[in-house]
Chains A and B, each alone.
Chain A
């Protein structure tokens, strides 16, 4: 019997499942039609129980609704709402109301009244809260209608006295988001409602600061902050209330209160508040600073983080209070004890070498008066000392950040916090270490490091994390040190670093370059020792390939630029090495005025003597070259190709000489090359030869057309700083290339159909060009496009063959387009630092398995490298892999510079002997990404597929890596 029953139950159950299954597709079909409301209505009517209804609503909410049918849907929902007894369904309907009113293109003002009406009859607190939430959505969708706002605010006031915390919270949220910023003129409002809404929002919200539920208190504070964000001026009276909430039992209240106090301190920094239990008065910002500092030792770490972060932005605080944050007093057995910092400072001052070996050198000194010891830090006392020693690294990080902000605005504070920051270099969490190094670098203009501090700083150079080491190198570039011992110490440690991590080579050299040029006078007395010269004896010549020796030379040469007496100390081989390094590492070794080397001197003076003037003259030259080219009107003119050739060569050389103009020169050269190619392809004689010869000649022209096309993409995507006008010019060139291709295709006659389609495509291209660069057309006078556009009506009507003819003549008649240079053009470049490609030892791995290859590259002037830069690996068998690095692999060491440090995985079947693979970086582009043109919407709707052209441009030199996949051993 039981089994039978069970079976029946089971049967019935399965039936139910099936019914819904059957209905689902039917519904789907109907839903695909515009009338969505009808479908919903039917569904809801069909729903026998509330669970069913809820199920329908859930599936319904997953699909988007068209703007036109939203109102109908809402009506049906509301109708059902009043009938529904189950509160969970009502809750879902309420949430759907909010969701639906967010539909783009729908204005929810027509449903406001209905939504508000539902509130009056609602008993369930949860549904009420959800309804208010939906009203909030509706209200924020209608920012322009004050009437709706007033009504909503009124509703919020009415429900504020609800017994459920959820409803009160939502009401406060509503008030915060919609509360009127200025009380509107009260004359036109006669009804009782508006007068209620007219009441001061702030005082009403602040009444709930003392609510019994912590969530409501938090919501009240948040609402007040929201008002502040919306531009309302918060009254100062609230300050006292907010301060009281700082000692609330609940962390979220305290956290919000910290924000509130901060906001007020920024609003009324200079007003005076009394100190309780004394007659004194202080500035409000100081008082707030003290109170927030106190929160740095709060029980909850969230509040601590919040407080520490906030401290950083209170820049108006008086220096007296600021310095208290670093105050710490130690005692042992009631006797005053010096901190390690003080001891270090004293040792430094006395000139004694730190032995650290004395037993009990930290022994307590004088006896303290018990009354003066302040155990519980009041006010700002020691806030940062606590923050930096917090157990949670989040708090420490926030404290470091705040310290940085404050120190940047106050040099004296920067000096004081130095000890603490240097201490943080030894934090156990890497993020904190890195953060503090960055911070020190930011405030480095204000500070000079003492020897003991430098010692601590330099110890970090051995860190195994590359980020930390590089951050530290960066820091050392900007650091001022006080003595020559410091320089020596730094050099020593850097050499040690170089020895331990040879990959840091370039970074270390760069660091030494700055160190040398910053402290020439400190380097001077060290020179004999550094170069190991001897007054009488010749010392052996050091190995020129030794990175350590190069490092020393970089330091010395950079110091020598501003210290003319230094070269006198060099020995002969140093001069030779100088000449070598000046040539091979010109970015690290500056030009020097060396005595007795006239020719070097003369050459160098050209480089360095004129300085900025040379840039200007180069600019002038560039402009002149372009002007010269622009005189070529007729493509057929004699000497035109030669002139172009010459100009291109000039420009290329200019780019090499003047790094500032490299981008511009390169851009122009490429552009001119395109023109030249086009010009050659269109030369008269080529087009007049007989048909049999065409084939051979076609090949060269096809290649030329293709090359121009490629170059045009390069022009568009490889250079940054292009204006719309240049883009138009580039597109124009591309159009020309396409026309050329079309003509060629017509001549080879593969078939009329393909010709028709390609003609159509070309016409579309022309149209899209016209649409895109409508504003630029006036500048393109006498160009191919202009003529084309004149002929467009005729073109679109005639046959393909005729079209091609027209094209051909237009193309050949059109003049050369002038190029106008924008302010700044930069070419995206990439240099692969690692692998160097010098290694002769193949990377061995078992075939079928993978080997990781470390890649380290610097990218310059690449926009959005996370999406565009890819790594290409070319195997000897022609196989090529494109690898997309993770976004986290990109670092940004400076403006317009990126660093890619990633690993690519290589794998291959077994080889008999090692061979080289090529690795290079690609810049991926997609013309749809070019959002700077601002027409993406139009394009998306018109030609989603054709408009986008995707491809890659190799933009780094390839590097060869020796690898050797071995067959797997069995």
Chain B
């Protein structure tokens, strides 16, 4: 029995470091090649030695498919292709191909330049790696080789995220990350009812059913709007990609809708580049954005301008998007310090903040922050000035600067959760849509997976697997074997009549199966003989029936003929001049034995084919007994 083997190298009962090996129909495919954010050592990358101890991976893998540009899905790509060694094709969608190197380069910079790691991939390696990428279009079927084909489906709002349908012969696997992050609905992702053998799905939020996004959006906009009307400034710390663009669109449309005039700024750098790609790949975004594209490109923002450091001191209301998202460094922190003192201002944290960051502190309601001295000398002095401590003099300031500085947080702090990942419902929807025979969960915590697994098995009564890293899940498949059938044979079969072919009911037919070099062919026997150069042998069955009859041979034959005529209605019965009776293709002869002229021997002869059709053979064989009766 053929089987499909799925082995997660990462993301098996775990979050991050997505890397799944699938062997299907003799092909080996790697799905995603991600890194783990939590580790800084070797555990960061998937363990490629599982595939081969030494040497390159090219011989063992037929292709690599990357689902989307998040680093936990593509972070290890240059390491695998350049440092471990892989020269085969890497498939990803166009937007992923465009944005992925930016993120990889950023990641590299942080690890090598900031943390000072060595033995890491270089910029050149990223470039080389990207040269191996073959871009995919949505719903385009790509032939990797003669047997392996892949097809990408739209998977949600992370630009360019795709579900992949992998097919070898009649066996198939669907891999989905069901990112769906920013989509409004449970079902923005759509897939054919392709009934794959395995559906591999991410299950990060397996135990979550989320609320409508509209409420959250409304809250967010309302807060921004109120602050702007008060004349305050709004700071929104974001990470560069994905959510930032989402919020930009949201604010941009809101500004348009409400006819607002206050400026919105976007901090420069990485985000600008990313915006550029969003602009290019507008067709990969959601309906609203696509619809308005007729008038203009939504990402060519009308109200949103690039930010300059000096703008932060401008009077009047404004909204600023600044990186990074957790207020731990960089531009967002600088602006935060400037604006923290005014209660009219507001900071909106659109995501989760790691413990220890300023973001986390202020979210927990801390109103006095202690800044590290060195970075805040200038601030300290101005602070001192405002406190009218001039008479104390600079000495005091100098004293302070070696200690820490107290920053009063007067501005309003809001938290706005936009992390609406695909929830359990989304996954269930997907199963309903694709109708897989087996389900396999990856990229999630084991406990949560357990719950979802139970649910899936209960609702759909299909098997569900959740292999750990390095563990192999094996699914036996029952592939249908395609056979070419000659048209003549089919037509002949049609001509025989009967009801129209019904796909749900099997039907028997006669033919010869020829297996030649890997291909199967069903042809008529004559053609098979001709092709194989064989002579036709006829197999005939004969049967003798002894009977007592005083008449002469021809007479007996005639009597049999008339009897048969009366008994077998609906069959053609011929009395041939050469002393035989033909019932369809059955030949009946009569001969008398030498000794006893009364004892006649009835010779029945029929060919092999006849036996199988429902012919009068059986009835003929009974003939003997009847004949005996006839005589008496």
Chain A residues at the B interface, C-beta cutoff of 8 Å: 161, 163, 212, 249, 297, 299-300, 328-334, 337, 339-341, 356-357, 359-360, 362, 370, 373, 375-377, 385-386, 388-393, 423-424, 426-429, 456, 459, 462-465, 500
- B-side contacts of A163, CB under 8 Å: 500
CB pair A390–B215 under 8 Å, yes or no, is no
**Contact, CB under 8 Å: A375 / B459:** yes
Which listed residue (A339, A390, A424) contacts B185, Cβ 8 A? Answer: A390
In the assembled complex, which residues on chain B have CB atoms less than 8 Å from the CB atom of A391? 183-185, 187-188, 286-287
Known contacts A334-B207, A391-B286, A428-B253: does B193 contact A299 (CB below 8 Å)?
A: yes
The 3 closest A-B pairs by CB, nearest first: A340-B215, A464-B259, A391-B188
Interface residues of B, Cβ cutoff 8 Å to A: 183-188, 190-191, 193, 207-219, 221-223, 225, 253, 256-259, 286-288, 291, 363-365, 412-415, 417, 424-425, 428-429, 432-433, 448, 451-452, 454-455, 459, 500-503
Choose among B210, B212, B258, B455 the residue that contacts A423 (Cβ–Cβ < 8 A). Answer: B212
Docked-complex contact A330 and B211, CB < 8 angstroms: yes
Note all chain A residues with C-beta closer than 8 A to B193.
249, 299
The interface residues of chain A lying within 8 Å CB-to-CB of B365 are 359
Given known contacts A356-B219, A357-B412, A375-B459, is B258 in contact with A464 (CB within 8 Å)?
yes
Q: Are A389 and B256 in contact (CB under 8 A)?
A: no
Chain A residues with CB under 8 A of B187: 297, 299, 386, 390-391
Closest residue on chain A to residue B414 by CB atoms: A357
Q: What chain A residues lie within 8 Å of B448 (beta carbons)?
A: 333-334
Min distance, Cβ A769 to any Cβ of chain B, angstroms: 55
In angstroms, how far is the closest chain A Cβ from the Cβ of B85? 41
Known contacts A332-B210, A391-B187; 16 additional CB pairs below 8 A are A299-B187, A332-B208, A333-B208, A359-B365, A360-B415, A373-B209, A388-B212, A389-B185, A390-B185, A393-B288, A426-B214, A426-B217, A429-B288, A459-B222, A464-B256, A500-B259
Given A359-B363, A463-B257, A299 contacting B184 (CB threshold 8 A): no
Selected from A212, A373, A392, A463, the residue in CB contact (under 8 A) with B502 is: A212
Contact residues in A for B287 (Cβ distance below 8 Å): 391-393
When the two chains form their complex, are residues B191 and A299 in contact, meaning their CB atoms are under 8 A apart?
A: yes
Known: A330-B209, A333-B208, A393-B287. A356 touches B414 (CB 8 A): yes
**A161-B500, A392-B287, A393-B287 are known contacts. Are A330 and B215 too (CB-CB below 8 A)?**
no
Contacts of B425 in A (CB 8 A): 375-377
Tell me if A376 and B428 are in contact (CB < 8 A): yes
Measured CA separation A483–B415 after assembly (Å)? 30
**In the complex, how many angstroms separate the beta carbon of B203 from the nearest chain A beta carbon?**
12
Q: Which residue of A lies closest to B425 (CB)?
A: A375
| In the complex, chain A residues whose CB is within 8 Å of the CB of B207 | 331-334
User: Which residue on chain B has the smallest CB distance to residue A248?
Assistant: B193
Query: Can you name the residue of chain B whose Cβ is closest to the Cβ of A373?
Result: B455
CA distance A328 to B212 in the complex (A): 10
Interface contact B459-A376, CB-CB below 8 Å: yes
B455 & A375 in contact (Cβ 8 Å cutoff): yes
B413 touches A357 (CB 8 A): yes
CA distance A429 to B256 in the complex (A): 12
Write the nearest CB–CB distance from A790 to chain B, whole angstroms. Answer: 69
| B195 smallest CB distance to A (angstroms) | 9
Neighbour of A462 across the interface among B185, B215, B258, B415, CB < 8 A: B258
Smallest CB gap from B156: residue in A: A391
Number of A-B contacts (CB under 8 A): 125
With contacts A329-B209, A337-B211, A385-B212 known, is A356 near B256, CB below 8 A?
A: no
Once the chains bind, are A464 and B432 in contact (CB under 8 Å)? Answer: no
Task: List B contacts of A386 (CB < 8 A).
Answer: 185-187
- Give chain A residues whose Cβ lies under 8 Å from the Cβ of B417: 362
Bound state CA distance, A912 and B183, in angstroms? 59
Q: Hey, which chain B residues are within 8 Å of A330, CB to CB? A: 209-211
What are 5 sample pairs from A and B whose C-beta atoms fall under 8 A apart? A297-B186, A333-B207, A340-B219, A356-B223, A423-B215
Contacts A373-B455, A423-B218 given; indicate if A462 touches B188 (C-beta within 8 A): no
Please give, as numbers and ranges, the residues of chain B lying within 8 Å of A339 by CB-CB distance: 211-212, 215
Alpha-carbon distance between A357 and B188 when the two chains are bound, in angstroms? 31
Question: B364 touching A456 by the CB < 8 A rule?
Answer: no
Which residues of the partner chain A approach B214 to less than 8 Å between Cβ atoms? 389, 423-424, 426-427
Whole-angstrom distance between the Cβ of A364 and the nearest chain B Cβ: 9
A397 smallest CB distance to B (angstroms): 12
Residues of B within 8 A of A388 (CB): 212
Residues from chain B with Cβ under 8 Å of A389 in the complex: 184-186, 212-214
Nearest residue (CB) in B for A496 is B229
List the A residue with the shortest CB-CB distance to B190.
Answer: A299
Specify the chain A residue showing the minimal Cβ separation from B349.
A359
* Alpha-carbon separation in the docked complex, A341 to B211 (Å): 10
Please, which residue of chain B has its CB at the minimum distance from the CB of A161? B500
User: What is the distance, in angstroms, from B162's C-beta to the closest C-beta of chain A?
Assistant: 16
Known contacts A161-B500, A356-B219; A462 and B259 CB within 8 A of each other: yes
Instruction: Return chain B residues, CB-CB under 8 Å to A377.
Output: 425
CA of A340 to CA of B222 in the docked complex: distance in angstroms?
A: 15
Which residue on chain B has the smallest CB distance to residue A356?
A: B219
Complex CA gap A389/B452 in Å reads 23
Chain B residues positioned under 8 Å from A357 (CB to CB): 412-414
In the assembled complex, how far is the CB of residue A396 from the closest CB belonging to chain B, in whole angstroms?
A: 9
A332 nearest CB neighbor, chain B only: B208
How far is A842 from B35 in the complex, measured between Cα atoms in Å? 67
Name the distance in Å between B387's Cβ and chain A's nearest Cβ: 28
Q: Which residue of B has the minimal Cβ distance to A304? A: B187
With CB as the reference atom, state the residue of chain B lying closest to A427. Answer: B214
Nearest Cβ on chain B to A253's Cβ, whole angstroms: 12
Known interface pairs A370-B454, A462-B258. Does A299 touch B433 (Cβ–Cβ under 8 Å)?
A: yes
Inter-chain contacts of A376 with B (CB < 8 A):
425, 428-429, 432, 459
CB distance from B393 to the nearest CB of A (A): 40
Task: Give the Cβ gap from A343 to chain B, nearest Cβ, in Å.
Answer: 9
Q: How far is the CB of B540 from chain A (nearest CB, A)?
A: 37
Name the residue of chain A whose CB is nearest to the CB of B216. A340
Q: Which residue of the partner chain A has the closest CB to B433?
A: A299
Question: What B residues does A465 contact at CB under 8 A?
Answer: 257
Shortest Cβ distance from A338 into B: residue: B211
A residues in contact with B190, CB < 8 Å: 299-300
A residues within 8 A CB of B415? Answer: 359-360
Interface contact B218-A426, CB-CB below 8 Å: yes
Chain B residues near A423 (CB, 8 Å)?
212, 214-215, 218
Closest B residue, CB atoms, query A388: B212
Q: How many Å lie between the Cα of A249 and that of B194 in the bound state?
A: 10
- Give chain B residues whose Cβ lies under 8 Å from the Cβ of A299: 187, 190-191, 193, 433
Give complex CA distance A212, B503 in Å. 7
| Distance from A398 Cβ to chain B, minimum over Cβ atoms (Å) | 14
Q: Within the complex, what minimum Cβ distance (angstroms) separates B156 from chain A?
A: 10
Give min CB distance, A616 to chain B, whole Å: 50
A163, A329, A390 — which one has the most chain B CB atoms within 10 A of its CB? A390
Chain B residues within an 8 Å CB radius of A390: 184-185, 187
Q: Which residues of B contact A297 (CB under 8 A)?
A: 186-187, 429, 432
Other-chain residue from B222, B257, B412, B451 in contact with A370 (beta carbon distance below 8 A): B451
Q: Which residues of A contact B500 (CB under 8 A)?
A: 161, 163
CB distance from A881 to the nearest CB of B (A): 29
Compute how far the CA of A618 lies from the CA of B207 in the bound complex, rounded to whole angstroms: 74
| Bound: A392/B288 CA distance, A | 9
Considering only CB atoms, which chain B residue lies closest to A296 in the complex?
B187
Chain A nearest CB, measured from B421 CB (Å): 11
Q: Which B residues are CB-close (under 8 A) to A393? A: 287-288
Taking CB atoms, residues of chain A closer than 8 Å to B424 are 375
Q: Closest CB-CB distance, A461 to chain B, in whole Å?
A: 10
Residue of A nearest to B186 (CB): A386
Q: How far is the CA of A459 from the CA of B257 in the complex (A)?
A: 11
Residue of A nearest to B460 (CB): A376
CA distance in complex: A561, B185 (Å): 49
Q: How far is the CB of A507 from chain B (nearest CB, A)?
A: 17
- A425 nearest in chain B by CB position: B218
Contacts of A464 in B (CB 8 A): 256-259
Q: Are A334 and B210 in contact (CB under 8 A)?
A: no
